[in-house]
Structure 1
């Protein structure tokens, strides 16, 4: 990415946000996108018409959104996350994806694939009044109501967590706009990358079959 302007994201808000370590390591920062910039940033958000994660290079968007992607992709941000979670990310591969729409099959309780090391989610919705779609940091894999924190996907909210065998999270079903950018640091060895590709393929295939089944049922 080429530089379009000075840094837009409020890294100080990320630096100052408290780190929670029980039941796993995560943090939530507010106003990472300055409130007076959110409307303009959303005007530059890419047009997306289906519920999937997209690589930025496959989308068209305005300069303010481009600057946010550049900030998230910067060495400064990576060093900040490394310090915050006391983790070495220098030997990982970083991926960035953009999403706009959530579907009812999203949000199931999970821990993320073992090849992932760190996840950052930055939200863009200007308001949120729905019960569903709020990401919950869970104590276990069986009960969506047994949570230690609930993160409403309001614009400027940033959630970061370290993947572990007990980093369970999920949200109640929601169908609609749930704007976010996701940053992942993943293991860079070939086995891990191949395993993640297989996992994504399985997830996409399962969701496609679910949509087909739903469509057939709806025509009965």
Structure 2
């Protein structure tokens, strides 16, 4: 498996001011290079459903792991959720655009959001996702997520 579910299970869930989980090295180091080599080649910013992109076998294995019953059950236990019969939407992203940095909340129809960083390096001081206490102040943050390869953020 490309994912370190033991690390996921052993990482405590933060519950205030809302439940979230940050798991460094969630994607196993031995799998990362091959996953990145097989990652879809995206020429424009934005999110793309898997049906709109092509990718290689190691990235496909990664997607299979994300789609597995074991992965879903780990999330159900960690977040005390019942995800049975709930669809999962997996998208891939290349570069972000300027509009992606604006304060927003996820759709009310989303049960949980999971972000997994696969970029191999990040030199820019900007571009770090922030979990905010409110929807009004970008500096009123709970956490600034380091965009480090293999990191999982769920909320």
Q: TM-score range by the shorter chain?
A: over 0.9
CA distance in 2, matches of 1:83, 1:158: 16
Answer yes or no: is 1:44 the counterpart of 2:33. no
- Correspondence for 1:95: 89
Tell me the equivalent position of 1:160: 154
Once superposed, which parts of structure 1, at least 4 consecutive aligned residues long, lie more than 3 Å away?
none
Matched residue, 1:12: 6
Kindly provide the CA deviation profile for residues 166-210 of structure 1, in whole angstroms up to 9, marking residues without a partner as x. xxxxxxxxxxxxxxxxxxxxxxxxxxxxxxxxxxxxxxxxxxxxx
Aligned to 1:141: 135
Higher-strand-fraction structure: 1
1:131 equivalent in alignment to 2:128:
no
| Long gaps (5+) in structure 1 | 1-6, 162-220
Q: CA RMSD in A?
A: 1.2
State TM-score, norm by structure 2: 0.94
User: TM-score, normalising length from structure 1?
Assistant: 0.67
Q: Whole-Å Cα distance in 2 between the matches of residues 69 and 107 of structure 1?
A: 26
**Unpaired segments of 5 or more residues in structure 2?**
none
Residue matched to 2:60: 66
Higher relative contact order structure (alpha carbons within 8 Å, sequence separation ≥ 6): 2
Determine which structure has more spread, i.e. the larger CA radius of gyration. Answer: 1
* Mapped partners of 1:143, 1:130: distance in 2: 22
Can you list the C-alpha shifts for 1:129-174, whole angstroms capped at 9, x where unaligned? 212211111111111111111112211000011xxxxxxxxxxxxx
Give, in angstroms, the shift of residue 76 of structure 1: 0.9
